[in-house]
Structure 1
Amino acid sequence: MDLTLEWNSEQDVKEITSEFIAKLEELLRLAGEQEGVTTGEVALTFVDDAAIQELNKQYRDMDKPTDVLSFAMSEFGEDEIEINYEADEEADSDTEEDDNISEGFIEPLGDIIISVPRAISQAEDYGHSVERELGFLFVHGFLHLIGYDHQSEEEEKVMFGKQEEILQKAGLTR
């Protein structure tokens, strides 16, 4: 299996082209190779500021828009139970039909939500393309999904260094 990208656009500020989706798939592949993540599904949604502000308020108690949000499937809160798919597969593997279903299952890594208007504004502020900024936010979100954070200066240096390396490999330079 491979890393897969499922995407959706719920905004009308910028057209998301098939060429750009191919670039995001390349970024996902490069990031996965760099981090040793070979399988999984990433769900990406492009939204406007109002939608990301609502999510930011609901999940982070911050009533303001942000550029990117990541929701990792591997994070477990106190009230959540861990689902053990391997045990389910062993118990249910009595029929050929069940085997085919479990073989087609791709483990979800999580969701990334990007505010397109915020990305456009930041691209203008930083003096680079909107595609680079969207790519940066996507890679940033992916690294959060697999456990990276930037709460300390050291963590930020590591995470941002990894992001820049991936973007450079994909040709998304400043």
Structure 2
Amino acid sequence: MILIDNRQEKIEFSKENEDVISKLIDYALKEEGVNIEYEISVILIDNAEIRKINKENRDIDSVTDVLSFPMLEYPEKKFYKDVYTDTKFSDAYLDDGKLVLGDIALSLETAKEQSDEFGHSFIRECAYLVIHSVLHLLGYDHMEIEDKLIMRKREEEILNKFNINR
């Protein structure tokens, strides 16, 4: 289940945009081996709210585009398809049979600014940021250059399947 909660009024986000984001998330999760019911929440917020969340959770007092809040920690630093049945993985959390992967906070204001800056569509920027966050929820990271290259490649593969290009 994908929960999308629009908590801002500054940037229009259509039902069609919500559908694109939901389909992308579902596709990405299936491609990554999530073959059990899952739950992810996406909150759509403005710059003031994401700045507040960033300060509260990361002690960084600035606006950012997207934040990911994974609910799981993976022994191998990345999701694997049997994680929720692996007896060694005691942190797996099933809620009513659904794997709760985490939350995504997306600033639509920043996404709009970045889409203008990069010269591509608003939905492309939102889609990229959401897929970036979904991969974080699955244990991907980009702190090391090798990991960054792997993550970027995966983001582009997923977006290209939906013809969402730069």
Change in 2 beyond 3 A, CA 1:83/1:145: closer
Q: Which structure 2 residues correspond to residues 64-75 of structure 1 after superposition, within 5 A?
A: 64-75=62-73
Verify the 8 A CA contact 2:72 2:93 in the aligned structure 1: no
In the other structure, the counterpart of 2:5 is 8
Structure 1: distance between partners of 2:93 and 2:31: 26
In the other structure, the counterpart of 1:152 is 144
The yes-or-no answer on 1:142 pairing with 2:142 is no
In the other structure, the counterpart of 1:57 is 55
Question: Which of 45, 48, 63 is equivalent to 1:47?
Answer: 45
Structure 1: distance between partners of 2:155 and 2:92: 31
Tell me which amino acid in the other structure corresponds to 1:19. E
Tell me which amino acid in the other structure corresponds to 2:116. E
Q: Give the 4+ runs in structure 1 shifted more than 3 A.
A: 82-86
Give the drift of 1:140. Answer: 0.5
Structure 2: distance between partners of 1:84 and 1:126: 38
- How many residues end up aligned between the 2 structures? 150
Give the drift of 1:107. Answer: 2.3
Give the drift of 1:124. Answer: 1.0
Change in 2 beyond 3 A, CA 1:10/1:84: closer
1:65-89 deviation line (CA, Å, top 9, x unaligned): 100000011149xxxxx66768xxx
Give the drift of 1:173. Answer: 1.3
Larger radius of gyration: 1
Question: Which of 34, 37, 45 is equivalent to 1:37?
Answer: 34
Query: If each structure's helix is expressed as a fraction of its own residues, which one has the higher value?
Result: 1
Give the drift of 1:21. Answer: 1.4
Tell me which amino acid in the other structure corresponds to 2:163. G
Structure 1: distance between partners of 2:93 and 2:19: 30
> Gaps spanning 5+ residues in structure 2: where?
75-89
Q: Which structure 2 residues correspond to residues 106-117 of structure 1 after superposition, within 5 A?
A: 106-117=98-109
State TM-score, norm by structure 1.
0.80
1:40-95 deviation line (CA, Å, top 9, x unaligned): 1110000001100011011111000100000011149xxxxx66768xxxxxxxxx
Question: Which of 157, 169, 172 is equivalent to 2:161?
Answer: 169
Change in 2 beyond 3 A, CA 1:57/1:123: same
Question: Which of 123, 144, 147 is equivalent to 1:131?
Answer: 123
Structure 1: distance between partners of 2:21 and 2:93: 28
In the other structure, the counterpart of 1:96 is none
Structure 2: distance between partners of 1:121 and 1:52: 14
Identity percentage of aligned residues: 37
